[in-house]
Chains A and B, each alone.
Chain A
């Protein structure tokens, strides 16, 4: 599926406004040839799902710094299922303790990229799913 451009929504759920990481990853993914949509700040899960639907994305990347990554990710997965969008891959970045990575994968994330993950690793992982 290399011909089709991968579309990804980078989303900032919740009240936290630290978006340096999210925006930098947007630029890295764009430079890697993906089509990137950035949600902007303070989004609810429902708003993120609607954006994902409208933009027909293949991947949703959540950027979470607040420590609330598990409940947020769980809620997003539920909503995607309800909307028949379970084929969208969900990846999580931000301040994610190592011990929480398997937990996020259990919840249904396809990839977890804590702050500092090399761009190449993120890009290679995402490409490998298509």
Chain B
């Protein structure tokens, strides 16, 4: 949950403040502190929109454009999801963020025995292109971009998104999608991986390479410090591991003969906002700067726009509590403030009932309103990077930067991210942090309101999204009808080509688009990959 540790004396005065990243905070800061960390305006900040972009990617920040809001949505049937999409768009949301159910994320069809009890539970069930045709009906593909929150089979979903866009009459150059597509972070936290590490990375990089060549408006990877942090990592580890993951993908693509300038501009990040407000702001400012510097100095990236750390700063799920759930509304507002003070380009906020289950429409709308109030009522669009020049914030930003670099060095010493994940090093580091945090919460060293302080007895009832599985039979019937109606010849042929391409190492994306067009199912396509690549054997952690 990531709040700081406070030591107090007998009079309840604070004697020591230690952030999750280990930084000790002083009672006051002044010009001498900036001197001590070697702060230099031009070198460390630059004006907004100027290298190294610590202050902002754009010279006018939110003055020119408020953030994009992209609440995570999707449950049940494609039809239900379509209705919820339209509801959110009608209420002012300008991008979609699609949730998939676990069988889809793990490459099983709704009628697979592995899918039992999970169809449509945590997101929408997708078996074939037919489901996308329903889910995205009447969505303007040239205006609304979609985040596709899926990883192991992100390549299939991006291909399907292209296929459905084309079916609706949009050219592939018009469609805008951001598949999450970060398999390495799934292996650290969240756990929706299928294939061994090297094959997982290959699929990620196939999508990136394909997008660079054929889908100009798609951002094919969203690197997620977010879930690493949700799994227990500190803010410093969150950024360090995300950057080391990014480097693993960059190195793979460079190995294919691509120049970083051709593709790094398509990378985006998904980073977490919960925790101590100042630590979060400093983290994002340090991250923007380090990313730009790393790309320029280590990878020779030349174009300014390719140096931008773009992404979604939001969520905050781990900060929410089941206890006194309405407190989460307040927490969400402060987390959103952290995102706004950090210059988040895109944001989304976990809803107050998400410590229990996926949000009700009312809760999701409340999150959207929280974001709108910040932008339109309380002055977050007034001026760019309003905390810049603060003795405290600038000192903290420098300290975060140093710690992130040190943590990145540790990963490099382990042989880089792919190796560090294969051996379980990163997973053990993150679990250790999660354990330490849980202990300090249980011992009352870290305060969580409603959990270990200001505790109330009985909890108020919360209206919850109910999982309704009465339609699962219909989804399965629909799938069976589809299998009867489609051309077996086309399906078999496209899957056969896929198998050959997967084996020979060519880019699988063009043939995946063909597979989707032939209405091959997600389960059938993934089965081909499972056959060729095998499945990942997790390293033993304990």
Q: A18-B190, A18-B191 are in contact. Are A23 and B434 (CB under 8 A)?
A: yes
Q: How would you classify the secondary structure of chain A's contact residues: helix, strand, loop or mixed?
A: loop
Are A118 and B442 within 8 A (Cβ)? yes
Q: Chain A 1-30 against B: per-residue CB contact (8 Å), 1 yes, 0 no?
A: 000000000000011111110011011101
**With a CB–CB cut-off of 8 A, which chain B residues contact A107?**
none
Q: Given B102, B114, B322, B538, which contacts A116 in the complex, CB threshold below 8 Å?
A: B322
Closest beta carbon of chain B to A30's beta carbon, Å:
7
Are B431 and A17 within 8 A (Cβ)? no
Are A115 and B541 within 8 A (Cβ)? no
Q: Chain B 86-110 against A: per-residue CB contact (8 Å), 1 yes, 0 no?
A: 0000000000000000110110100
Closest beta carbon of chain A to B89's beta carbon, Å:
29
Does A53 touch B at the CB level, under 8 Å?
no
**B428 — nearest CB in chain A belongs to which residue?**
A23
Does B118 touch A at the CB level, under 8 Å?
yes
Are A20 and B541 within 8 A (Cβ)? no
**With a CB–CB cut-off of 8 A, which chain A residues contact B118?**
14-15, 66, 68
Does A37 touch B at the CB level, under 8 Å?
yes
Are A28 and B435 within 8 A (Cβ)? yes
Are A95 and B435 within 8 A (Cβ)? no
Does B193 touch A at the CB level, under 8 Å?
yes
Q: A17-B192, A40-B538, A67-B467 are in contact. Are A95 and B356 (CB under 8 A)?
A: yes
Closest beta carbon of chain B to A104's beta carbon, Å:
16
**With a CB–CB cut-off of 8 A, which chain A residues contact B538?**
40-41
**With a CB–CB cut-off of 8 A, which chain A residues contact B442?**
118-120
Are B121 and A67 within 8 A (Cβ)? yes
Does B370 touch A at the CB level, under 8 Å?
no
**With a CB–CB cut-off of 8 A, which chain A residues contact B192?**
15, 17
Are A17 and B190 within 8 A (Cβ)? yes
Q: Given A23, A68, A95, which contacts B431 in the complex, CB threshold below 8 Å?
A: A23
State the CA gap A64–B232 with chains docked (Å). 18
Closest beta carbon of chain A to B134's beta carbon, Å:
23
Does B357 touch A at the CB level, under 8 Å?
yes
State the CA gap A30–B542 with chains docked (Å). 9
Q: A37-B542, A95-B356, A116-B451 are in contact. Are A71 and B190 (CB under 8 A)?
A: no
Q: Chain A 81-125 against B: per-residue CB contact (8 Å), 1 yes, 0 no?
A: 000000000000001000000000000000000011011100000
Query: A residues 33-59 with Cβ under 8 Å of B?
Result: 36-38, 40-42
**With a CB–CB cut-off of 8 A, which chain B residues contact A116?**
322-323, 451
Does B186 touch A at the CB level, under 8 Å?
yes
Size of the A side of the interface (Cβ < 8 Å), in residues, is 29
Are B322 and A15 within 8 A (Cβ)? no
Closest beta carbon of chain A to B272's beta carbon, Å:
14
- The total of Cβ contacts below 8 Å across the A-B interface reads 83
Are A16 and B191 within 8 A (Cβ)? yes
Are B117 and A68 within 8 A (Cβ)? yes
Closest beta carbon of chain B to A82's beta carbon, Å:
18
Does B372 touch A at the CB level, under 8 Å?
no
Are B322 and A115 within 8 A (Cβ)? yes
Closest beta carbon of chain B to A47's beta carbon, Å:
12
Does B133 touch A at the CB level, under 8 Å?
no
**With a CB–CB cut-off of 8 A, which chain B residues contact A71?**
117
**With a CB–CB cut-off of 8 A, which chain B residues contact A36?**
542
**With a CB–CB cut-off of 8 A, which chain B residues contact A68?**
117-118
Q: Chain B 113-134 against A: per-residue CB contact (8 Å), 1 yes, 0 no?
A: 0110110011000000000000
**B231 — nearest CB in chain A belongs to which residue?**
A20
Closest beta carbon of chain B to A72's beta carbon, Å:
8
Q: Given B103, B186, B230, which contacts A15 in the complex, CB threshold below 8 Å?
A: B103
Query: B residues 465-492 with Cβ under 8 Å of A?
Result: 467
Does B143 touch A at the CB level, under 8 Å?
no
State the CA gap A116–B356 with chains docked (Å). 13
**With a CB–CB cut-off of 8 A, which chain B residues contact A23?**
427, 431, 434-435, 541-542
**With a CB–CB cut-off of 8 A, which chain B residues contact A67?**
121, 357, 467
Q: Given A16, A24, A37, A95, which contacts B102 in the complex, CB threshold below 8 Å?
A: A16
Q: A95-B356, A118-B442 are in contact. Are A19 and B435 (CB under 8 A)?
A: no
Does B304 touch A at the CB level, under 8 Å?
no
Are A42 and B106 within 8 A (Cβ)? yes
Residue of A30, A38, A41 ringed by the most chain B CB atoms within 10 A: A41
**With a CB–CB cut-off of 8 A, which chain A residues contact B147?**
none
**B451 — nearest CB in chain A belongs to which residue?**
A116
**With a CB–CB cut-off of 8 A, which chain A residues contact B117?**
14, 66, 68, 71
Q: A38-B542, A118-B442 are in contact. Are A27 and B191 (CB under 8 A)?
A: no
Q: Given A16, A20, A26, A28, which contacts B232 in the complex, CB threshold below 8 Å?
A: A20
Q: Given B121, B189, B542, which contacts A20 in the complex, CB threshold below 8 Å?
A: B189
**With a CB–CB cut-off of 8 A, which chain A residues contact B191?**
16-19, 41-42
Q: A15-B118, A17-B193, A19-B191 are in contact. Are A27 and B102 (CB under 8 A)?
A: no
State the CA gap A71–B121 with chains docked (Å). 15
Does B445 touch A at the CB level, under 8 Å?
no
Closest beta carbon of chain B to A41's beta carbon, Å:
5
State the CA gap A68–B357 with chains docked (Å). 13
Interchain residue pairs with CB less than 8 A apart (6): A18-B189, A26-B542, A27-B432, A27-B435, A66-B121, A67-B121
Residues of chain A having any CB pair with chain B under 8 Å: 14-20, 23-24, 26-28, 30, 36-38, 40-42, 66-68, 71, 95, 115-116, 118-120
A20-B231, A23-B435, A23-B542 given; 7 more Cβ-contact pairs under 8 Å: A15-B115, A16-B191, A18-B191, A27-B435, A41-B191, A66-B117, A119-B438
Listed from nearest, the 6 A-B pairs whose CB atoms lie closest are A17-B191, A15-B102, A68-B117, A40-B538, A27-B435, A23-B431
